[in-house]
Every structure is written in C-alpha cells, then in structure tokens.
Amino acid sequence: MLTIQPFGKTGSPSITVPNNKILMVETLSVQVDVSPSGSKLETFLQYRCGGVAVTLHIPVTYAYTATSGFDFYVTMQAVRLYADPGTQMEVSIYSPTGSHGTLFLTVSGQLI
C-alpha cells in the first residue's frame, strides 16, 4: 500500500527531501533579490530525479526595489516535479551585472 503524506517547506536557499520518500512537488515559490538595482538575472532550481541531476530554469517577475537597492523578483507556479529521497532542492541565480542577496524556495506537495 502506497502511503502519501502532505509536505511543505521553506528554505533559504534550499530544502532537503526526507531520506525515505520521493517528493512530488505540486507548487513552487521562489523569491530572489539582486543588487545593484537594474541588474539582469536568471533563476534556477537544482535537484535529483531518478538519480539524474536536473537544472530547471525558473522564470521570475520583478516585484519591487527595496530602499537597500536590491531588486526583488518572485514566482509561484503549479508544477509536477519528482525529487529523489535525500535530495537537496536548491534555488540559485546567475547575474552578469550584479550579485544576489537572500534566496527563498518554498515547495509543497506529497511524499510518496
């Protein structure tokens, strides 16, 4: 019999899937920031699926510029991703014109 458990977690910049379960991610939320204001960036999610390293591009939308000079970008997406037991799911950015501050990743779904 297959036991399914709800799962939700926020990490900065990553979360770890429990060792004895596969995580079926149903929603994915990302918040990233970059400085100086106006910097270009790409956002990625790295994890393992079926023993293979996966890098997934995550499109983000500009939200606002903080008084600190950081531009904040966010996304919330319905997805279906399968992460291996014990996998670290990590959000990262690449910016040719700036550097990142705090990165947040939130996932929710089912442990199977």
pLDDT value at residue 1: 64
Does the CA dihedral 90-95-101-107 come out positive or negative? negative
DSSP state at residue 111: E
Q: Please give the CATH number for the structural domain made up of 5-111.
A: 2.60.40
Q: What percent of the chain has pLDDT over 70?
A: 99
Amino acid at 3: T
Whether 104 shows a pLDDT value over 70: the answer reads yes
What does the domain layout of the chain look like in residue ranges? 5-111
Distance CA 72, CA 69 (A): 10
- Could you read off the pLDDT of 66-92 as tens digits, one per residue? 999 999 999 999 999 999 999 999 999
Each residue of 21-30: pLDDT tens digit?
A: 999 999 999 9
pTM, two decimals, is 0.92
